Chains A and B, each alone.
Chain A
Amino acid sequence: MPNNQNLQDLVIQVRRDILRMVHKVNSGHPGGSLGCTEFFVALYNEIMDLKEGFDMDGKGEDLFFLSNGHISPVFYSVLARKGYFPIEELNTFRLINSRLQGHPTTHEGLPGVRVASGSLGQGMSVAIGAALAKKLNGDDHLVFSLHGDGELQEGQNWEAIMFAAGNKVDNLIATIDRNGQQIDGATEEVLPLGDVAEKFRVFGWDVLEIKNGNDLDQVITGLNEAKKRTGKGKPICIVMTTVMGHGVDFMMHTHAWHGKAPNDEQLDIALSQNPVTLGDY
C-alpha cells in the first residue's frame, strides 16, 4: 500500500484547488470534479506507470483519457501537482490566453492532455485507438479512461463498447463515474441508464465495481484489481460509484453544483471543510 496519508493530503489539496479555480472565474464544473478527486489522485500517483515529462505519443507509459472533459478542474489540479506544468498556472483556468481551457484541449499545448474532450461520448473511441496503437507498437502499457455516467447516453459509446469487446482490446480500463447525476437531474429520471455494470457485461467486457469511489483505499484496490485482469482477452470496465460534490457538504447528493461556482461565502465554508494540507497555489 502507498503512503496513504500523503495521498489523502493530496486529495484534500486538490479539492481546494478545484474550489478556488472555479470560484475565481465564477464558472466551471466543481460537482463532478470533487466526486472524482480520489480517482484522479490514485490514478496519477499510485496506479499509472508514467515517464518523466510529456510527449504526445506516450510510448512506454500508461495513458489516460478524460472523456467527460467538463471535470477539467480535477484533471488540471492533479496534472499540475504531478509536475506536468507549474501549479501556479491553475490561476489561469478559463482565462483568456490560458492553456487551461474550460474543457481540456491539445490546441494550446498543455502537457498531459492528449485529445480535446467535452463534447461528450467521444473519449472511449479515442482510448480504444490509443490502446490499439500500443498493441501494434508492442508496448504492453495500459490505457485508462474516465466517463461520466450521463455521458453513456451518447450512442457513440455503445459503438465503442461493442468494438472493444469484439476486438479484444484487453489493455483498456474504462471507468464509469456512476454519480447518478446529470445537468437536468438524476440520470435515472433524465434517461434511465439501468444496470450499467450488466450492460457492459453483456457487451462482453470484464466488469468490476468500486462501491465507494470516494474511499481512496477502495479506489486503489479496485484499480489494481482491474490492472490484474488486463491481457485476458476482454476490455475492463470499472463502475465506480461516487458522490457528486464529495467533500463539501452542501454540494453533495445534488446536480445543482454540476456547472456552478461557489460565491465568496460558499467558498469560505467549502474550504473550511477542506483545510490546507500541501499548500495553496
Chain B
Amino acid sequence: MTKYIDQGKQDTRSGFGAGMTELGRTNPNVVALCADLVGSLKIETFIEENPDRFFQVGIAEANMMGIAAGLTIGGKIPFASTFANFATGRVYDQIRQSIAYSDKNVKICASHAGLTLGEDGATHQILEDIGLMKMLPGMTVINPCDFNQTKAATLAIAEHHGPVYLRFGRPKVANFTPVNQKFEIGKALMLSEGTDVTLLATGHLVWQSLLAAENLENQGISVEVINIHTIKPLDDEAILKSVKKTGCVVTAEEHNYLGGLGESVARVLATHYPSPQEFVAVQDSFGESGTPEQLMDKYGLNNKAIEAAVLRVLKRK
C-alpha cells in the first residue's frame, strides 16, 4: 500500500489558524468572528495583522451567527469560529434561518469537535454536529484530516460561494498530507488502492485508517483507503467506483453513527449498489472525560476498532 509519513504531529485547529493568517494577507474581503475563544481557534495572527477585520463577539454565539450573516451583505466573507458544540447545536436556528435558508456566504469554523476534545467531557464533545449541518439544504460540510489539509480547506472555502461548515479538532495528530495541497471541495481523495475492502474515513480517523490498513496488509488483506474530507456534497462516484471493486465498505468517523458519514454512505449504497457496511463511530452515546487516546479506545474509534470492523465486514461479503 501507499506509505504516508507523519511530518510531525500538529493540531488541525492550527491548520485553520494558518489558513486564516494566509487569507488575512491575500483576501481583503475575509473577516473573522470569534466568541471568546481566540486562543483555542489559533487566530491570533489574523487578528494581529487585521484588527479591523476581526470581531470579538463575546460569549454570544447566536449573535455571532447573525452578525456573520449580515456581514455578507456588502460582500464580506465571514469566518465565524468557536467550539463545534457552540457552533452548531447551540445556534441551530440562527444558522438555519439567517445563514442557510438565506443563502449567506458564511463559513462556520468549528474546533474541538468530537471526543478528542478530551478532559472537558461530554458537555463540550459534540458528536452530532455533522448530522445537524448536513441536514441543512445548501450547507457544505467539510472535516479535514490533518494540519496541512485543514489549512488547504480553509483557503478553499473562501473561494466557494455559500455556507460552509468546517470541522476540526484540538489534539495534535499526524500531519501526513502534502504541504500546500490543492483542496477540492466534494472530491474524495484516494490514499491507497486495494481490492478486498473499501475504507472510507473522515477527519482524525483517516490516519487511524492508514495505520489499520497497513496492519491488515500484513495479514494479506488489501484495503482501499479513501479520505472523505467533504461529507456534503458527498463524492458518490468515487465511493461507488471503489465499492463496486471491493464489494464491501467500512466507514470511520469521530461522530455518532446516527447522522454521520456512515449514514450518508449507506444512502448512496442502498440507492445504487447495496453492499455490506460496518460503522466505526460512536454508538449513539455521549462522550465523557478522559485523554483523547483513552476515549478513542473506549468508544471504538482507533486503528484497532477499524481493523476489527474490516474483519467483520469481510465475513459478510
Contacts and interface: CB of A to CB of B under 8 A. Distances in A.
Contact of B69 (A125, A134, A136, A137): A125
Nearest to B65: A125
Contacts of A139: 74
A63 interface: yes
Given A116-B98, A119-B97, A129 B60 contact: no
Given A105-B101, A137-B75, A159-B60, A129 B93 contact: no
B290 interface: no
A105 B138 CA distance: 15
Contacts of A132: 55, 67, 70-71
Contact of A59 (B67, B75, B78, B93): B75
Q: Which of A57, A131, A159 has the most CB of B within 10 A?
A: A159
Interface string A115-137: 11111001111111111111011
Given A115-B102, A116-B98, A163-B60, A125 B75 contact: no
B153 to A, nearest CB: 24
Contact of A136 (B53, B68, B94, B101): B53
A185 to B, nearest CB: 24
B237 interface: no
Interface size class of B (residues with CB under 8 A): 20 to 34
Nearest to B53: A136
Contact of B74 (A57, A105, A106, A160): A57
B57 interface: yes
Nearest to B98: A122
Nearest to B68: A129
A82 interface: no
A132 B32 CA distance: 12
Nearest to B70: A129
Interface string A159-172: 11011001100000
B55 A122 contact: no
A115 B72 CA distance: 11
Interface in A95-125: 105-107, 114-119, 122-125
Contact of B73 (A58, A123, A156, A166): A58
A128 B102 contact: no
Contacts, number: 120
A56 interface: yes
Nearest to A145: B70
A122 B66 contact: yes
A156 B94 contact: yes
Contacts of B57: 159, 163
A2 interface: no
A126 B70 contact: yes
A131 B76 CA distance: 12
B64 to A, nearest CB: 8
Given A125-B67, A129-B68, A107 B101 contact: yes
B62 interface: yes
A155 interface: yes
Nearest to A115: B102
B55 A167 contact: yes
Contacts of B93: 119, 122
B75 A126 contact: no
Contacts of A58: 73-74
A121 to B, nearest CB: 8
Given A136-B31, A136-B52, A114 B73 contact: yes
B63 interface: yes
A263 B98 CA distance: 34
Most A CB atoms within 10 A — which of B31, B73, B101? B73
B52 A129 contact: no
Given A125-B65, A159-B63, A133 B94 contact: no
Interface of A: 56-59, 63, 65, 105-107, 114-119, 122-134, 136-137, 139, 155-156, 159-160, 162-163, 166-167
6 contacts: A57-B74, A115-B104, A116-B101, A119-B96, A125-B70, A129-B73
Given A115-B70, A156-B94, 14 more contacts: A57-B75, A58-B74, A59-B75, A65-B70, A115-B73, A118-B97, A119-B97, A125-B62, A125-B98, A129-B66, A130-B71, A133-B73, A162-B60, A163-B58
